Homo-oligomer: A and B are copies of this chain.
Amino acid sequence: MPELRRDPVDGRWVIISTGPHKRRVDFHTNKYDEKGRGKGCPFCPGSESLTPGEILAFRDPGTAPDSPGWRVRVIPNKFPALMVEGELNREGVGYYDKMNGIGAHEIIIESPRHEDVHASLSLKQLEEVFTAYRERIIDLHRDERFKYVMVFKNYGEAAGAGMEHPHSQLIAIPILPKHIIEETNGAKEYYGYKERCIFCDIIQQELEQENRTIARNDEFLAICPWAPKFPFEIWILPRHHDSSYEDSSSEQFAQLAQVVSEVHKRLDAALDRPHYNAVIHTSPFEIQHNDYYHWHMEIMPRITRVAGFEYGTGFYINPVSPEEAAEFLRKAEV
């Protein structure tokens, strides 16, 4: 059974995800699985029986569950970091705290085509991926044990991906993520002072200054943020205030697909298809609708390594300014 454990000094939680359910290759748990390019890949059409049964799929009319014909398919992770069955039990162990490792860990297979990447997906396909995220968040919100759903994507070995076939993941957790607490607290404090959403103010300023913008349309803006942790880090924000991802409409997802696609085409052209992590930051369930926090997507290319200074301080050293990065991405030929 996995466990959630709390650091007694700084209050940070970790997931200790051990147990026989866990694939373990000499402790290198997220070793890249080259299996695939169509041969033996469990995410390819025709291999549906190699995965747990699907939770959700967008499929062609007349095709049966867990058979080919899907365009986007959501399945439980066969090697989950947290277990979905069980009760939340919090208990003390001397000075320490732990909780049962309850949570949901799902895989969103983004395309039937093994070779696809975000930049090669059609806008319609991307829109369906974003719709699948929404459907799963809404469904998991019904489970009262969960406080948050983190949707994320690891692309490429340097970003910790374990599989080649295009996919993203989500983890529903019974505690609020540290980074989300920090962001919502910061945003709330700003709102208390200004009665404005800080993200809305940032968007306004970035649209005026233009030196950190990469792409935009009526509904979304892509920028290199002012204080990026990583070179070429990108934030994609809805231009109009929206506290939670799952409140977005299909029309908004169509526009999101457009900006995400353009951003990935520019990244791939400028940096030769970099490995990256992407995450969605949205409001916790308990404050789904609020005036101060603004959902957004963060894309973090992994072209430098995080080292001792970063782990020691929590501060990142970034050798590329966001102004340089944005200019480089705007000039990329796509």
Q: How far is the CA of A322 from the CA of B96 in the complex (A)?
A: 13
Q: Are B312 and A152 in contact (CB under 8 A)?
A: yes
Q: Which chain B positions have C-beta within 8 A of A229? A: 14, 311
Q: Which chain B positions have C-beta within 8 A of A115? A: none
**A50 part of interface (Cβ distance < 8 Å):** no
Measured between C-beta atoms, what is the minimum distance from A137 to chain B in Å? 14
**Other-chain contact of A209, B9, B10, B30, B94 (Cβ < 8 Å):** B94
- The segment from A55-63, A194-202, A244-252 that touches chain B is A194-202
**A177 part of interface (Cβ distance < 8 Å):** yes
**Other-chain contact of A228, B14, B160, B201, B314 (Cβ < 8 Å):** B14
Q: Which chain B positions have C-beta within 8 A of A150? A: 309, 312-313
Q: Are A17 and B308 in contact (CB under 8 A)?
A: no
Smallest CB gap from A300: residue in B: B311
Q: How far is the CA of A229 from the CA of B13 in the complex (A)?
A: 9
Q: Which chain B positions have C-beta within 8 A of A303? A: 27-28
- The segment from A214-222, A259-267, A275-283 that touches chain B is A275-283
Measured between C-beta atoms, what is the minimum distance from A111 to chain B in Å? 18
Q: How far is the CA of A105 from the CA of B186 in the complex (A)?
A: 30
Which of A17, A171, A231, A312 gathers most chain B CB within 10 Å? A312
**A210 part of interface (Cβ distance < 8 Å):** no
Contacts A18-B319, A160-B307, A312-B279 given; does A186 touch B10 at CB 8 Å: yes
**Other-chain contact of A308, B5, B15, B279, B309 (Cβ < 8 Å):** B279
**A135 part of interface (Cβ distance < 8 Å):** no
Q: Are A154 and B308 in contact (CB under 8 A)?
A: yes
- Bits for A282-318, please: 1 = Cβ < 8 Å to B, else 0: 0000000000000000101001111111011111111
Q: Are B307 and A152 in contact (CB under 8 A)?
A: yes
Which of A10, A152, A280, A324 gathers most chain B CB within 10 Å? A10
- Bits for A186-197, please: 1 = Cβ < 8 Å to B, else 0: 110010000000
Q: Which chain B positions have C-beta within 8 A of A190? A: 8-9
Q: Are A22 and B319 in contact (CB under 8 A)?
A: yes
Provide 27 A-B residue pairs closer than 8 Å at the C-beta atoms, listed in order of the A residue.
A7-B225, A9-B199, A11-B186, A13-B315, A14-B315, A15-B315, A15-B317, A17-B319, A18-B321, A22-B319, A27-B232, A28-B303, A29-B319, A30-B304, A94-B205, A95-B205, A152-B307, A154-B308, A160-B304, A169-B309, A173-B313, A177-B314, A178-B315, A179-B314, A277-B312, A278-B308, A279-B311
Q: Which 8 A-B pairs have the closest CB atoms?
A: A160-B307, A152-B308, A279-B312, A178-B314, A177-B313, A160-B305, A277-B308, A179-B314
